[in-house]
Amino acid sequence: METKGYGPRGGAGGDGPGGTDVRRIDISMPLQAGMAAFPGDPDFSARRTRSVDQGDPYNLSTLEFGSHAGTHLDPPRHFLPAGLATDQLDLAVLNGPCVVLGVDPHRESIGPEDLVRLPVGTQRVLFRTRNSDRWHASPRFFPDYVALSLAAADSLLARGVRLVGIDSLSVESDPSGEFPVHHLLLGHGVPILEGLQLYEAPPGSYELACLPLRLTGGDGGPARAILLPL
């Protein structure tokens, strides 16, 4: 999918069918110093190692960040030693029609009851919770993010969903450290797209374009993700 002309907040315009203007919505977090990181994950840093201002013929930077920085994909390898790695995933699963499902802003977690409006046959779902408004207001990490419950994850599997995305840096909030939602979804081969910025993406149907970095044996993949309204 061609993407061009991004505006300052990630949206883009382009010529669609019949000459109509089609807005492509960038739902990726900018990678930058001071950005939020999940507690315990490496911080992002960028250091200019070649600089035109310092007399070098070109600019070049050294980047340091974790494999789950910003908007990123969790492949099965993230929790399962023998699971598929980032570079082994079927890109057809990560790209195609999807539903951005709005969750009541008063909800503290996503349960099966929040899935009643999910169209039958949906294969890719991105959850838009009150997290999106909070990311829009401030890039700082907040521990009380809305996450997916185990019951909702089980219901998604029963519905045949193949990709789950959410507007938080983790799909679940689990103080026990057992991570049952990750184990359930990834154990069934369902990759998880985390760290989405959905403030500018109203609930509805879209075409998702998602390309994680092709990291050999990767346990995660920072990704650029874009939505095109259908």
* Residue of 68, 78, 106, 136 marked catalytic: 78
DSSP symbols for the chain: -----B-TTSEEEEE-GGG-EEEEEE-PPP--TT----TTSPPPEEEEEE-GGGT-SS-EEEEE--TT-SSEEE-GGGT-TTSPPGGGS-HHHHSEEEEEEE--TT-SEE-GGGGTTSPTT--EEEEE-THHHHHHH--S--SS--EE-HHHHHHHHHTT--EEEESSSSS---TTS--HHHHHHHHTT--EEES---TT--SEEEEEEEEE---TT-S-EEEEEEEEE-
78 is catalytic: yes
Q: What amino acid positions are annotated as catalytic residues?
A: 78
